[in-house]
Structure 1
């Protein structure tokens, strides 16, 4: 069994950490909000996890350092840039596993800093949301060396169902952003379809049933269609998280001079969604943006 530092105990991080405890690993956990230890993550401590006051404390003696935070700067802060970052105590030979969705170049930059201290890095963003994290069925995309990825798979198999090694460091992030492009543009398409039906007085439920059985059928239609039809905008996937990832792609594509017109259009819709205060609602709220 390994000693694992787990940094980031949000809605997805907590169940992932729980699976590692069940597998028998020694877990040293850190949350950027101290009150998490008294509330949401209390059960992890009761199950044997060691609560730590900083990333550096969590990383001390760890074989693996897992991060599951928000953005590129957050990952850099907890791993090497902060005053109490993990790099200050991480042992040579340890491997960082980053489940956050961040900029591919940022992942390469962070990996280079960690490598200067003898610490390896694998970017391993995930797809599937809280439901898959809770069920241990996440889809994972990895970037890193063959040797490091082989070691990491033995750890993440506890909560990931599908694991694909894409290529070198940063390529896991590329694959995750590709996932977000296809996913969110699809959600916008579902919203526009149902908005068109709505504007023409058609029964939304019957339209959904009709098109879901045809070539328009997709996982996102099956997931988002019923939510839009019933106007259930309670978050399954918070729109702000999709927006964060989508804006990453928008910036990267602009820097690379890539022509991605659908992405640009949907990014504008997400900006309107966020400006309307619906960031903590489901991304199916893209229908409400069209209605507005």
Structure 2
């Protein structure tokens, strides 16, 4: 049994914390809204009234927060992780943040006596619930090995990809691929529907060939059903595409497709659809399309 603190019990953090309880660990959670803490307690975990209380006796600390400023706020200050965690504790940031921020925070964590890892995840809410997340880790090899048993409780594909900040860099690439894939599948569905094709049959055969992908498998039917209940909100993917385009610019890398998709994601959020699942990118594709019989002047 490992004493684990989980800070951030949202769509991803709560199921991850529950899976760690199921795996036999001693899990204490903190979240700004009390209801999520109560849900963890009902699942066999413990609740804390503050970040400081949650991390004080923890051997492993996991943060799962929306953006770089949120992580910085939670780890810094008198009530933050760095000031209250025990020396030698392992800090795993499973949030998706800027690679440069991750590297800078890792250095601050080491100065505070902690062992930092940036370990963003992929797999969405479904992967978090099933404990089948893909985890890309940046940090020291010994620290990665030390948390392997903990990460096995929430993930299926766990890979050390390099030094601090590398996990976030790989996650940025992941978000680029996912957004482009969602855009492509959305365009394909609108195209198929315009020609009256049996779309369910079409997606089945496409999924069995080279066009098959996790996005097509997990999001295809949701597009057909116009089911955009959030598993991963568009506003968060918008933030992630900002990370990708900024990091690419700093590295002198050209990502023309990524830049275009980032604009599509941003435009969809600007239309008021940021609270939809990221498959809601489909709504803009559909809105911009004129089908046979449509009044193009409307």
TM-score normalized with structure 1 length: 0.91
8 Å CA contact retained: 1:56, 1:87: no
- Partner in structure 1 of residue 148 of structure 2: 153
Quote the Cα distance in structure 2 between the aligned partners of 1:144 and 1:234.
34
1:142 shift after superposition: 0.7
Which residue of 75, 79, 94 corresponds with 1:79?
Answer: 75
Q: 2:189 aligned with 1:194, yes or no?
A: yes
Counterparts of 1:170-185 in structure 2, within 5 Å, are 170-185=165-180
Classify 1:276/1:121 alpha carbon distance in 2 versus 1 (closer, same or farther; 3 Å). same
Q: 2:3 aligned with 1:3, yes or no?
A: yes
Quote the Cα distance in structure 1 between the aligned partners of 2:30 and 2:167.
24
Q: 2:156 aligned with 1:122, yes or no?
A: no
The alignment covers a number of residue pairs equal to 287
Classify 1:213/1:167 alpha carbon distance in 2 versus 1 (closer, same or farther; 3 Å). same
Quote the Cα distance in structure 2 between the aligned partners of 1:197 and 1:273.
22
Quote the Cα distance in structure 1 between the aligned partners of 2:90 and 2:168.
17
8 Å CA contact retained: 2:83, 2:112: no
Counterparts of 1:15-94 in structure 2, within 5 Å, are 15-33=15-33, 36=34, 39-80=35-76, 82-94=77-89
- Partner in structure 2 of residue 110 of structure 1: 105
Counterparts of 1:187-226 in structure 2, within 5 Å, are 187-226=182-221
1:206 shift after superposition: 4.4
8 Å CA contact retained: 1:54, 1:85: no
Classify 1:182/1:47 alpha carbon distance in 2 versus 1 (closer, same or farther; 3 Å). closer
8 Å CA contact retained: 2:11, 2:231: no
8 Å CA contact retained: 1:57, 1:86: no
1:202 shift after superposition: 4.2
Per-residue CA shift, 1:226-265, capped at 9, x if unaligned? 2222322223332222222122111211222211000010
Quote the Cα distance in structure 1 between the aligned partners of 2:100 and 2:26.
32
Where structure 2 has 5 or more consecutive residues not aligned to the other structure, the ranges are: 288-298
Q: 2:256 aligned with 1:289, yes or no?
A: no
1:30 shift after superposition: 1.2
CA RMSD after TM alignment: 1.8
* SS of match in other structure, 2:185: helix
Classify 1:211/1:44 alpha carbon distance in 2 versus 1 (closer, same or farther; 3 Å). closer
Classify 1:148/1:290 alpha carbon distance in 2 versus 1 (closer, same or farther; 3 Å). same
Which residue of 132, 136, 142 corresponds with 1:137?
Answer: 132
Q: 2:235 aligned with 1:272, yes or no?
A: no
Where structure 1 has 5 or more consecutive residues not aligned to the other structure, the ranges are: none
1:78 shift after superposition: 0.8
